Amino acid sequence: MSIHTGFRAWALVLAASSVACSISKSVSDSIESSSDSTSSVSSSSSPESNETKYRKGVESYTKAFVVSGGSDSTFMAGIGDLAQKRGITDWEANDNTWLGIGRGLGGTKIDKVQLDVYEQNWAGGDAAKIKLIQKGFDQVR
């Protein structure tokens, strides 16, 4: 191997490593920027996402409860536990509680008479809560 050929090989290695470092830095910066964007989107949508997860949890719990049965107080305690796990405060005033219950009831085979009984027992005659249960029920049926 001549000195001239050795120098060319060394120059190519140096040039390639310089390009590789530049590409690596660019990709790294791109990933970091993308990560920052994702986390800002994530943090801005977290409350909604948490609310959605809560509503879906209430929906699933309601379906399972209607199928397996139990007391009204047990049902309400279970809803309270779900809310606590999701960091939901004042779950009785949270619309997603009642929409989730309605959607859960809509996913079962209950009829209108049974729906009315659940609405009265669980919403305590509160017209706004009953309306939300009905709305959730109608979304599914």
What pLDDT score does 49 carry? 81
Closest CA to 134 of 94, 92, 98: 98
How does DSSP assign 10-66, residue by residue?
A: HHHHHHHHHHHHHHHHHHHHHHHHHHHHHHHHHHHHHHHHHHHHHHHHHHHHHHHHH
Q: What is the pLDDT of residues 103-113, one digit of tens each?
A: 999 999 999 99
Check if the beta carbon of residue 102 is closer than 8 Å to that of residue 133: yes
What pLDDT score does 5 carry? 56
Q: What is the pLDDT of residues 32-47, one digit of tens each?
A: 333 344 334 444 555 5
- Mean of the pLDDT values across residues 62-83? 96
pLDDT of 10 strictly over 80: no
